[in-house]
Amino acid sequence: MKNYQVVLLKGDGIGPEIVREAVKVLDKTAQKFRFGVTYTDALLGGAAIDQTGVPLPKETVELCNQADAVLLGAVGGPKWETLPGNLRPEAGLLGIRSAMGLFANLRPAKIFAPLRASSPLRGDIIGEDLDILVVRELTGGIYFGERGRREVNGQPAAYDTEQYTVPEIERIARVGFDSARKRGKKLCSVDKANVLEASRLWRETVIRISAEYPDVELSHMYVDNCAMQLVRNPKQFDVIVTNNIFGDILSDEASMISGSIGMLASASLGSGKNGLFEPIHGSAPDIAGQGIANPLATILSVSMLLRYSLEEPQAADAIEAAVAKVLDEGYRTPDIFTEGGKKVDTAQMGDLVAACI
């Protein structure tokens, strides 16, 4: 029997409550699909600051790098907001991403059919359900290029530089193609190749890599058009792959068309199998400790963990199906509650999903 090592970074606020439910579901899935999971807790964010004085202890980096996968709750909260930037909980999050060499950020924008009403988009635009994956390059491009202030024609000015190396584009393109291969086999590469040189290199490189993926249908779109199409006709997309800044913007746009922050998972991947999986929402300090947080984003992050790091696709599918079933049956945490639903708390939602596996 395979046994996987999973590090839990429960973090702050609602982090521990939602990770508890995700572990419940992962345990049930492991039992059903006959593999083992060994958990190790490690400190990150505010919890780490309180116990060790720093947001990312060395031990956490070592444990995460040795693991098969890392599951994170959320970090941060008002208690640590007055600390200097590099000692804040969020610095721990950026630190662990870079220490694990995670260069690809995957954000599904998924609308389960029973939650269609929570989308700001009309039902006929969404269709039965909607399932888009945005793959964002995370460690290159204009956010990391040369920047500064200088004088131009005697006037004060500022500049930022967009730069990508061919290997940087190749590796993110492969994440895009591999993801598409595991889903609807359609990849849309988003750039601004009509204007930007880095985008022209991006497009050339993606086209060259596509030769390795004859089973994936590749298309290209300019970013401005993509921003429009996400709202006009989101059903046309399966996987979108794009650079750091475009991905930052488009992944937020895509996730909000689903309308429910408590439902959305994410994955950050590097060159190995090991990845970091977390809900896209924050630590929600306003509801922490009340037992009302929605654990589904974290539970769906476990599904991504199974798909991308542990390569247990059937187990991943089983979790998604269980979530869909529980929603179909009308169970809702307060954040997604609507008239006629059955209101449940965090732990009940975890129990219900686990029972459906």
The yes or no reply on residue 282 touching ligand ATP (CB under 6 A) is yes
The yes or no reply on residue 199 touching ligand ATP (CB under 6 A) is no
The yes or no reply on residue 283 touching ligand ATP (CB under 6 A) is yes
* Bridge partner list, 36: 3
The yes or no reply on residue 252 touching ligand ATP (CB under 6 A) is no
Q: Which residues are annotated as a binding site?
A: 77-90, 97, 107, 136, 224, 248, 252, 282-294
- For ligand ATP, the closer CB: 145 or 341: 341
Measured distance CA(145)–CA(244) in Å, rounded:
11
Tell me the residue nearest to Mg ion as measured from the CB.
282
10: amino acid identity, one letter: K
Residues 265-324 that bind Mg ion (CB under 5 A): 282
Among residues 178, 191, 238, 248, which one is catalytic? 248
Active site residue 110: no
Residues 74-93 that bind Mg ion (CB under 5 A): 76
**CB of 42 closer than 8 Å to CB of 9:** yes
- For ligand ATP, the closer CB: 198 or 265: 265
Which residue from 75, 47, 42 is spatially nearest to 278, judged by alpha carbons? 75
Helical residues (DSSP H) of 152-258, grouped into ranges: 166-181, 197-210, 223-232, 244-256
Active site residue 252: yes
Phi, psi of 28 (to 5 degrees): -65, -40
DSSP string, 33-87: HT-EEEEEE---THHHHHHHSSSS-HHHHHHHHHSSEEEEEE---GGGTTS-GGG
Name which of ligand ATP, Mg ion, none residue 293 binds, using a CB cut-off of 5 to 8 Å depending on partner kind: ligand ATP
**CB of 107 closer than 8 Å to CB of 264:** yes
Count of beta carbons in the 10 Å neighbourhood of residue 347: 14
Q: Which residues are annotated as a binding site for NAD(+)?
A: 77-90, 282-294
Tell me the residue nearest to ligand ATP as measured from the CB.
282
The yes or no reply on residue 251 touching ligand ATP (CB under 6 A) is no
The yes or no reply on residue 332 touching ligand ATP (CB under 6 A) is no
Report which DSSP code applies to 176.
H
Residues 23-82 that bind ligand ATP (CB under 6 A): 76
Residues touching Mg ion, count (CB under 5 A): 2
Count of beta carbons in the 10 Å neighbourhood of residue 154: 6
CB of 247 to Mg ion, least distance (A): 21
Structure tokens belonging to residue 109: 């924008």
Alpha-carbon Rg for the chain in angstroms: 20
The yes or no reply on residue 293 touching ligand ATP (CB under 6 A) is yes
Q: Which of 281, 306, 332, 354 binds ligand ATP (CB under 6 A)?
A: 281
Could you give the string, one character per residue 309-328, with x where binding to ligand ATP holds by CB under 6 A and - elsewhere? Answer: --------------------
Q: Which residues are catalytic?
A: 143, 192, 224, 248, 252
| Residues at the interface with ligand ATP (CB under 6 A) | 14, 76, 261-262, 281-284, 286-287, 293-294, 297, 335
